[in-house]
Amino acid sequence: MSDRDTIFGPSALMTPANALTLARLLASPLMVALVVATGPSSWLLVGLWFICSSSDGLDGLVARRYGATRSGAFLDPLADKCIVLGVLAALAAIGEVSWLPVILIAAREVSMSVFRSYAARRGVSVPARTTAKVKTLLQDVVIGLAFLPPVGLHHARVVGWVLWLVVAVTLWTGFEYLRDSRKLLAGAQSPTRGNVGRHVA
């Protein structure tokens, strides 16, 4: 890293990583509108979804290079949840997937966001688990499959089964975090307490 590179402090707001995160947030309604307007399967949606999902990893790299911030730690998982839940709801609204798995995924994501806020008020930051990263990857994959034209005629057999796998992994990670939180909130030492980093996904 050169001397010219700017390192942002934990309280910074206007950072390159936050700009990428905000772009994902702004892209959420656009993706939802396109899914409803153009249908589930198109190469345009595949390309846009690839950009949106890959930018998640990109802003993490940028944050590590220029300094992680508290605002970024909050906004990054929020952007992930908004775009994933928005697109899944759009797919359910046009009848391409069932509402039940979407509701189960949404319930887990919303409950974890509420818990994260509760834990943060008590000075506890829950480290992200590897299974949570797998969960996020599977969510991106199932949406990509729904958009992929060659899969369009096999949603029930391909997208449907993968979506239920995503539900299982999503709920399991929620149980893992609840189990961890009981120890952390009881006073156990957290490896990330007092540091700024990626929060629960």
Q: Which domains does the chain have, with CATH numbers?
A: 16-185 (1.20.120.1760)
CB-based contact 10:196 (threshold 8 Å): yes
CB-based contact 80:133 (threshold 8 Å): no
pLDDT mean values, one per 10 residues, the chain (201 residues): 55 69 86 88 90 77 68 73 92 91 93 76 69 87 89 72 92 82 60 48 65
Instruction: Please identify which residue in the block is written with the tokens 């656009």.
Output: 30
Say which amino acid occupies 89. A
Write the burial class of residue 136 (CB in 10 Å: 0-12 exposed, 13-18 middle, 19+ buried): buried
CA dihedral for 118, 121, 126, 132, sign (positive or negative): positive
Question: What local confidence, expressed as pLDDT, does residue 138 receive?
Answer: 92
- Output the CA–CA distances (angstroms, integers) from residue 28 to 35, 86, 95, 98, 176, in the order listed: 11, 7, 19, 20, 28
- What is the pTM for the complete model shown? 0.79
Q: Which of 31, 147, 43 shows the shortest CA–CA distance to 96? A: 147
Q: Is 97 helix (H, G, I), strand (E, B) or coil?
A: coil
- Please tell me the distance from the alpha carbon of residue 79 to that of residue 13, in angstroms, as a whole number: 15
Instruction: Please identify which residue in the block is written with the tokens 């998640």.
Output: 56
- Please tell me the distance from the alpha carbon of residue 13 to that of residue 55, in angstroms, as a whole number: 18
